[in-house]
Chain A
Amino acid sequence: MTLIYAGLSLGAVYALVAVGYNIVFIASHSFNFAQAQLMMVGAFVAYLGYVTLKLPTVIVIIMAMTAVMLVAAFEERIAVRPVADHQTQLITTLGFGTVLTGLVQVIWGTQPLQVPFAGGDEVLTFLGGRMFPDELALVVFAVALVVAISAYTQRRLNGLALVAMSQDEEAATLRGVSVRKLTFAAFAVTGLLSGVMGVLIGPKTYAVATLGAALALKGFVALAIGGFGSMYGGLIGGFAVGLVEQHVARYFGSGFSNLSVFAILLLVLLIRPTGLFGRVQERTV
């Protein structure tokens, strides 16, 4: 059980990255390749708040949310809005992520910094397995976030508009949707959530400058397995990657864990090219 819990909590981290990719993907059919770096910034801000400034948890979370939201909003203005086509945005967002990694290294250095968890570090025993409180929080947060976002896109008008926009921007404009405003809002909200994610993943992954690159890849694999644009797909994909990685590392050695993740990805793409929950884009004539 302990192994499963470890897999699930690691998977939750990947799922959170996938959720971040997904929000922007749904809004603009483009990938924000700086997503993992945004979470990394969140983790560093959490370190700054907790360890350097010794602030209470609520303040730290608000600080991380605000800081990362501003970074994401800035990204939208300089790396997304001026670039008209989606393919080029892949490059500009990747570039923005690289800049973030560099800045973080300049400010905090290259050593991993330990971020404390507000819920303590007493090991919990649950159904015959052991788990840290921060791991439990990660899993709960990932599931709750996915449920909340899915409900939002189905129930709220702005959520419906977001989905509509991803299908046909021009038609959405003609229904009175301000495409520009909504895309900006999607980025800002992603930043806000990434701030919270950063605070939550920090205790598990540490705040380290290489975090962005590591998470970006696994998060993308989680999304590809689950299916682009599908919130539940991203969650399942994340858990799958986490579980496979932990089990392979335990039974075959950690050298095989990355390999196994890509083997799973290839297998899924071979059988279902759109991912487990992806929708086939139908063409109309």
Chain B
Amino acid sequence: MTAPLLSVDGLATGYGDLRVVWNVSFQVWPGRITALLGRNGSGKTTSLRAVAGLNPVHAGSIDYDGRRLDGVAAHKRVRAGISYVQEGKRVFRNQTVEENLLLGGYSLGVRRSTLEAECARIYELFPILQEKRKHPAGSLSGGQQQMVAIGQALMAKPKLLMLDEPSGGLAPAIVAEVMSRIAALKESGLAILLVEQAVEAAVDVADHVTVLDVGKVTLNLPVDQIDDMERLKDVCMGRRTDAA
């Protein structure tokens, strides 16, 4: 196995002085998907926010692409290739789909015309967005907004893509579609960190699973070592603490 692109070790973080995550470690590899699972309030989103630079690191380390990320401002981490798709389809609702995608490439520091050409790549992945490119992003359906959010993140040509609950609030048929697109993305060598509540959908596409509970890791293993899904779900729900 190649060396991990992102390696989080013994991370403790939270909001200001309030500590939510106590001791979390996980890795993400190029061309593979790591699923970060766990029930509500287990510290999944907070861990992602710390990697993105939105939350302070209280203890532990975050290594990315061979360097420590401590003290690197959030907007500079984007330039280093970390793209974070936040929970709840946070697109720029008043701006058009195309403007949203252009903003996705803001961190590249290139001309607008170059970015306009880059949009074609996203339209190929999500053809519906090309049709809707002049519409305000807020007028799109939930699934389409999620595509805008992912497309926006991909415009930055990331090495690491972090997705927070891409299935949240979407119809089951659309969840399957979004998940299959995510699975296809790793083929290009992208390292993907996927946070999910929908355990089965996540395990279907993931290569590695890390389960959190109350800010600590309770399970950490490659997907092919999981033989009992019910047991895994129990661990994710906090009903069982032993490894599967």
Binding site for B on A (CB under 8 A): 155-157, 160-161, 163-164, 167-168, 170-179, 279, 282, 284
With A160-B103, A167-B92, A170-B54 already in contact, the answer to whether A175 and B115 are too (CB < 8 A) is no
With A157-B112, A160-B99, A171-B86 already in contact, the answer to whether A177 and B92 are too (CB < 8 A) is no
One of A155, A156, A175, A284 near B152 (C-beta < 8 A): A175
Chain A residues with CB under 8 Å of B91's CB are 171
Q: How far is the CB of B94 from chain A (nearest CB, A)?
A: 6
Q: How far is the CB of A92 from chain B (nearest CB, A)?
A: 23
> B50 in the interface, Cβ–Cβ < 8 Å?
no
Binding site for A on B (CB under 8 A): 52, 54, 73-76, 78-79, 83-84, 86, 88, 90-95, 99, 102-104, 106-107, 112, 115, 138, 152, 156
Chain B residues with CB under 8 Å of A157's CB are 102-103, 106, 112, 115
Chain A residues with CB under 8 Å of B95's CB are 160, 163-164, 167
Is A176 touching B156 in the complex (CB atoms < 8 A)? Answer: yes
Closest to B90 in A: A171
Chain A residues with CB under 8 Å of B74's CB are 173-174
Chain B residues with CB under 8 Å of A170's CB are 54, 86, 90
One of A167, A174, A177 near B52 (C-beta < 8 A): A174
With A168-B90, A174-B84, A178-B75 already in contact, the answer to whether A161 and B103 are too (CB < 8 A) is yes
With A160-B103, A164-B103, A177-B75 already in contact, the answer to whether A171 and B52 are too (CB < 8 A) is no
With A155-B112, A157-B115, A282-B138 already in contact, the answer to whether A177 and B93 are too (CB < 8 A) is no
Is B92 touching A163 in the complex (CB atoms < 8 A)? Answer: yes
With A176-B79, A176-B156, A282-B138 already in contact, the answer to whether A171 and B112 are too (CB < 8 A) is no
Is A176 touching B54 in the complex (CB atoms < 8 A)? Answer: no
Closest to B79 in A: A176
Is A178 touching B73 in the complex (CB atoms < 8 A)? Answer: yes
Excluding A164-B95, A284-B88, 5 further A-B contacts by CB distance (< 8 Å) are A160-B103, A163-B92, A175-B106, A178-B75, A282-B138
CA distance A175 to B157 in the complex (A): 11
Closest to A165 in B: B92
CA distance A175 to B104 in the complex (A): 6
Q: How far is the CB of B152 from chain A (nearest CB, A)?
A: 7
Closest to B111 in A: A157
CA distance A157 to B115 in the complex (A): 10
Chain A residues with CB under 8 Å of B84's CB are 174
With A155-B112, A167-B92 already in contact, the answer to whether A175 and B138 are too (CB < 8 A) is no
Closest to A156 in B: B112
With A164-B92, A168-B90 already in contact, the answer to whether A176 and B78 are too (CB < 8 A) is yes
Chain A residues with CB under 8 Å of B112's CB are 155-157
Is B93 touching A167 in the complex (CB atoms < 8 A)? Answer: yes
Chain A residues with CB under 8 Å of B94's CB are 163, 167, 279
Closest to B109 in A: A176
Chain A residues with CB under 8 Å of B54's CB are 170, 173-174
Q: How far is the CB of B2 from chain A (nearest CB, A)?
A: 27
24 A-B pairs (CB sep. < 8 Å): A157-B103, A157-B106, A157-B115, A160-B95, A160-B99, A160-B102, A160-B106, A163-B92, A164-B92, A164-B95, A167-B94, A170-B86, A171-B86, A172-B92, A172-B103, A174-B54, A174-B84, A175-B78, A175-B106, A176-B156, A177-B75, A179-B75, A282-B93, A284-B88
